[in-house]
């Protein structure tokens, strides 16, 4: 992998990224799309957030995601994706020829916990 300074961000920029543990309450395929799932995620904020994620290919049965805890970026500006508002971004790695994995915390870390 090439070390490209053009892609580097400063520590001050990185500190702005809010990474939070969320528990997936529901997951459903967005009709007429190949990649998108609509997730309802609990961040211990009082009401769940809707997050749209392009991970459908890795979860043919989205119900397997229900109850999982994963790491999310929670301070992104809301974004409309196929007429659905997304209020965060799921952290995952892999895809293609590389095994896919959600970034999951230890099971005893409560939802709403922020990365330090």
User: Is 6 a member of any domain?
Assistant: no
Residues 14-35: tens digit of each pLDDT: 999 999 999 999 999 999 999 9
The DSSP secondary-structure symbol of 114 reads B
User: Is 9 a member of any domain?
Assistant: no
Which range of residues forms the domain containing residue 58?
Answer: 17-102
pTM score of the predicted model: 0.90
b/e for 18-35, b at 16 or more Cβ within 10 A? ebbbbbbeebebbeeeee
CA angle 21, 73, 14 (to 5 degrees): 115
In the chain, alpha helices (H): 11-15
User: Is 48 a member of any domain?
Assistant: yes
- Find, among 66, 18, 74, the residue nearest to 40 by Cα: 66
Residues 28-81: tens digit of each pLDDT: 999 999 999 999 999 999 999 999 999 999 999 999 999 999 999 999 999 999
């Amino acid at each position: 992998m090439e070390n490209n300074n053009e892609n580097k961000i400063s520590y001050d920029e990185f500190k702005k990224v809010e990474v939070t543990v969320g528990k997936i309450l529901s997951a459903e395929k967005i009709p007429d799309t190949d990649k998108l799932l609509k997730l309802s995620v609990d961040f211990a904020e009082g009401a769940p957030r809707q997050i749209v994620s392009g991970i459908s290919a890795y979860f043919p049965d989205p119900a397997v995601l229900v109850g999982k805890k994963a790491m999310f970026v929670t301070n992104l500006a809301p974004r409309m994706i196929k007429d659905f508002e997304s209020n965060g971004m799921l952290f995952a790695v892999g895809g293609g020829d590389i095994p896919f994995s959600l970034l999951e915390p230890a099971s005893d870390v409560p939802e709403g916990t922020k990365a330090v």
